[in-house]
Structure 1
Amino acid sequence: MADWLASTWEANWRSFQYFNLYRLILAGLFFLAILLPPGWVGRLELSPTAAMLALATTYLCAILVGLALSIHWQRRFNFQLSLQVMVDAVAITLFMYAAGGIASGIGVLLLVSLAAASLVGRGRLVLFYAALATLAVLLSQIYGVLANGFELTSIFQAGILSAGFFATAILARLLGQRLMANEDLARRRGIALDNESRISQRVIERMLDGVLVVSRDGLVLRHNPVAQAMLALPESDGSPLAMTAPSLDVALAAWFFAEGDDATLFTGVAGQELRARFERTSSSEGEILIFLEDVGRIKERAQQLKLASLGRLTASIAHEIRNPLSAIGHAGELLREERRGEMQERLLRILNDNVARLDRIVSDILELGRQNRAEPEPLALDDFCADFVERFLATEGLPADVVVLEAQAGDTLCFDRSHLHQVLWNLLGNALRHSTRGPGAVRLAVRNGAAEGRLELHVIDDGPGVPEAMLEQIFEPFFTTHTAGTGLGLFIARELCAANGASLELAHAAACGHFIVTGRNDTCR
């Protein structure tokens, strides 16, 4: 342990400076003891002679120099410390000799100096300090016995005091080692705690869920950026939760008094549906953790996982179905060439119609796997939409006035050409199916978007619109209200829009069918 402490020891200049301040006060007390009347200082017989004043002045100057060096020249710590201990040993021993030897009690002051030096010193130097003080005290006392008639028994007292020097140095050094070990342990634990705090803070900041730390009186103590965006919290902590999210504060109060559930649903500032979970902490202040989850994102993630599994399954099945389906269709065409009765013709029409429907379903399922292969390009919508409407009317066998196009020259949309064709085909097919099929029954209008750099494609029909009960399911895969539909048209259209950085929405306030495609009209990137 001593070797390890020696390798990790660092000079404690601050403690050394405090030690020099103590010595400075001690030198001032010696000056007072010399200058004050003898009756005021008791047994200390320090007469104000030139020699004593010179000794006190020299001691004071040496301490001042040591203090200045410890502040302005923090190098060679052991040398500075050893030099100051030597000064103490010589000066205090001389004061002790002048005051009558060991009986004056001044030698005890060396115990304080040794203890302080041993606490901040290093290794075996503390034994050197004890030996130095012992040598100084014993030599001065022996000289006093021989030259000034000190009592012979005082040498024994000096020996006891010298033993105290070594005991003090050793014990102070052991205590210093313990303090150094505890200080190093606290430093390493502080570093580890700081690292863990930084990692935890980064993890919390990167979490997709919001995290709040709320005090028992409802103050938001800490939060991550996601929670700030969900609740529009201020940058600084300490704001009342009741001001930013009143419904959440009410749910927290109900949960805190065991009147509510551990989780509650509420609406965020952006209108998104949020779920809050409450958990108590084991801290002394009793803070409460609140986890905020975006319910819409959870549903979307679950749907993506569901669709990914379903897509892999249906894609493999679709490839297996297409080959026998082609054979059935081809056999039906061959049977149609033969002369048969009216019943056989009707059955063949049913066969061919269902083959076409199955082929369309298979094509839609396979399209699910190709929706993310978007290659956007700037499309001139007046030409693109005019050509598209012409093809759509020709394919469906409709009069030219059923679909009305409203587009201006110069409108450009950044979209994949084949994807936009598929989106519009699905939307216009859906609109035609629910319309009256009369003149102007379906409108395709190009308009500027509400945000800068956005363009909107509106597909409007004169049908009854989407019932309120179906608004949440209209874009769900395989959901359809038509007997001949696959339930994938609107879902594929929305996914293709997302792959091109666009969006597909249903105008809820409209009394008719009204779908809006919003995309970029700036430069494709």
Structure 2
Amino acid sequence: MSFLLSDRMMPEHGVVGSAAGDVWRALRLFSLYRFFVAGMLTALEVFGTGPQALGSSHPRLFLLFAFTYLLLSLGFGIVARLRRLPASLQIYLQAATDISLITLLTYTSGGVTSGLGMLAIPAIAGLGLLAPGRPALFFAALASIALLLAQIHGYWFEPGRDSALTQTGLLGAGLFATALLALVLARRAMESEDLAQRRSVDLANMAELNAHIIDRMQSGVIVVNDDRHVYLINESAWLLLGNPVTADTSDLSRLAPELYGALQEWLRHPTGAGHRTLPANGHSPELRVRFTRLGVDKPIGTVILLEDTAELRRQMQSIKLASLGRLTASIAHEIRNPLGAISHAAQLLGESDELNRADRRLVGIIQDQSRRMNQVIQNVLDLSRRQAPRIEVLALRPWLERFADEFCRHHNLERAQLELSIRPEDARACFDAEQLHQVVWNLCTNALRYGTRAGQPARILIQGGTRDVSRHATLDIIDQGRGVNPSIARRLFEPFVSTGNEGTGLGLYISRELCENNGGTLDYIPLPTGGSCFRIQFPPHETTTPVMEGRRSRQA
């Protein structure tokens, strides 16, 4: 019997769940076995086709006991199916019934020499498995004593019957050995069951932990088989795909057609690069996709990892700024102190009355270049100490109106010299307000310095807004100058590259770094009519969209 019941599994100790179901199933199966044995004995006796030993001493009593055994077996089976009595009580009643009726059947068949006493061995074995421990040993002793007493009674009161005490003793020893063996097997089985239950709980906990970790990962995770069926998709993947609306969310080809196409291309050439880049569309940003096959012996599916390229750039930016911070700390210590001494000495020298005009010019050059070097160091320090952006949603036109007023006052410009054109009027963008101020100020200063033709007043055009349905807002700073030489334009955003002699060559570099740190971009666009255009592309404005109900149910 493979269904176990220990003391802690008894109903009075709280048999619940699968353990209780196993006990009742075992009782039904054992009742079926008992019904089959009793039915065979009854049929053999009724039709007279069985061995001569059956009922040889008392045929009518044998038939009565066999028929009683058959009815009780049927009754035990019905009660076990209906679960009318406690399982422990049924076990003991069935054990007592088996021992009593098998002993009586053996007695009416001439004793243990008939071989019917061997039927007690399966009964004790089943009892040892269903109720291991002292109950099994007690009933084994009870069966041995009952068989021995029946054998002695028949020997005394029925002349000619063989005593067969040796066979009865061996049968009793066999019953004890069966009970002990069943006890050992039951304990081993219970230990194995306990271990399996603990392992099952550990696996369930581990699966829950893995599901929690995967769901909270910033990278999107999708698991699909080769038939496009989606087994798992976490929250990040759903958001990176732009909260797709489709009737069949378990079909990758409908959930994300571009991603499915990239997967099929990779499956056709799995030895190539394990990643692809999906361009941004109206719903999702630009994604970096990596594929990994699942399966030890044979492939059973593919794990797809999704990452926002803007986020990757921000992470690279953070690493770059950390390295730059360590470098600039050394620069500040090793260069600024002697630079300050040089600047101070030049200032004192310039206050001397004995200097001629040429010497004063040289002192002015020293002071100007010292200030310039100090500004370079300050810019690098500011960049390396840049804190994480506090991104917020900005209404572009009101923000730019305030910026234009401040910029014109600072540079003594007429308000008409800085023109604003925002379409639509309520266009919004996601950016850190202070860092956007620094970027636009730097770009407008460059336009004022390098984008003004000789003899003409400075004019700066700031235009932008949302140009398409992609939620990407842009901002263009356009001047009326001669543009940038193509040979320099390729390196325009590199540090210490400048088109003039007044700048440090770090302004555009810092501006682009700030844009990328906020998830956007900064590009130079030459204009065919002359002039320069620097375009800020803001990251997409992620609107809060209710997540489709039941999405977590797909993680199965």
TM-score category (smaller protein) = 0.7 to 0.9
2:441 matched residue in structure 1 = 425
Q: Give 1:221 deviation, angstroms.
A: 7.2
Q: Give 1:364 deviation, angstroms.
A: 1.8
Q: Give 1:197 deviation, angstroms.
A: 3.6
Distance 1:222 1:121 in 2: 44
Q: 1:220 to 1:153 in 2, by over 3 A?
A: same
Alignment of 1:221-370 (within 5 A): 225=234, 235-236=249-250, 244-255=259-270, 260-261=271-272, 263-268=273-278, 270=280, 272=286, 274=288, 276=290, 283-287=296-300, 292=305, 294=307, 297-298=311-312, 300-315=314-329, 317-318=331-332, 321-322=335-336, 325=339, 328-329=342-343, 331-332=345-346, 335-336=349-350, 338=353, 341-368=356-383, 369-370=385-386
Is the CA contact 1:388–1:421 (under 8 Å) kept in the aligned structure 2? no
Task: Identify which range, 122-131 or 331-340, moves more after superposition.
Answer: 331-340
Distance 1:489 1:222 in 2: 49
Give the letter aligned to residue 514 of structure 1: F
Aligned match for 1:385, one of 375, 400, 403? 403
Alignment of 1:485-496 (within 5 A): 485-493=503-511
Q: Give 1:307 deviation, angstroms.
A: 1.6
Distance 1:504 1:381 in 2: 19
Alignment of 1:37-116 (within 5 A): 37-39=47-49, 43-45=53-55, 52-53=63-64, 56-57=67-68, 60-61=71-72, 64-65=75-76, 68=79, 72=83, 75=86, 77=88, 79-116=89-126
Give the letter aligned to residue 428 of structure 1: C
Give the letter aligned to residue 83 of structure 1: L
User: TM-score under structure 2 normalisation?
Assistant: 0.71
Pairwise CA RMSD: 4.9
Aligned match for 1:190, one of 196, 200, 214? 200
SS of the aligned residue for 1:513 comes to strand
Higher relative contact order (Cα pairs below 8 Å, separated by 6+ residues): 2
Q: 1:64 to 1:494 in 2, by over 3 A?
A: farther
SS of the aligned residue for 2:269 comes to helix
2:479 matched residue in structure 1 = 461
Is the CA contact 1:118–1:172 (under 8 Å) kept in the aligned structure 2? yes
Distance 2:39 2:527 in 1: 96
Structure 1 residue 514 corresponds to structure 2 residue 514: no
User: TM-score under structure 1 normalisation?
Assistant: 0.75
2:30 matched residue in structure 1 = 19
Q: Give 1:351 deviation, angstroms.
A: 2.6
Task: Identify which range, 408-417 or 264-273, moves more after superposition.
Answer: 408-417
Give the letter aligned to residue 485 of structure 1: G
Q: 1:492 to 1:195 in 2, by over 3 A?
A: same
Distance 1:411 1:292 in 2: 33
Q: Percent of counterpart pairs with the same letter? A: 33
Q: Give 1:505 deviation, angstroms.
A: 3.7
Is the CA contact 2:105–2:116 (under 8 Å) kept in the aligned structure 1? yes
Q: 1:54 to 1:169 in 2, by over 3 A?
A: closer
Q: Which residues of structure 2 form unaligned runs of 5+?
A: 11-18, 542-556
1:162 matched residue in structure 2 = 172
Distance 2:100 2:300 in 1: 61
Distance 2:217 2:428 in 1: 38
How many residues of Structure 1 are paired with residues of Structure 2 in the alignment?
A: 505
Is the CA contact 1:457–1:517 (under 8 Å) kept in the aligned structure 2? yes
Is the CA contact 2:223–2:233 (under 8 Å) kept in the aligned structure 1? no
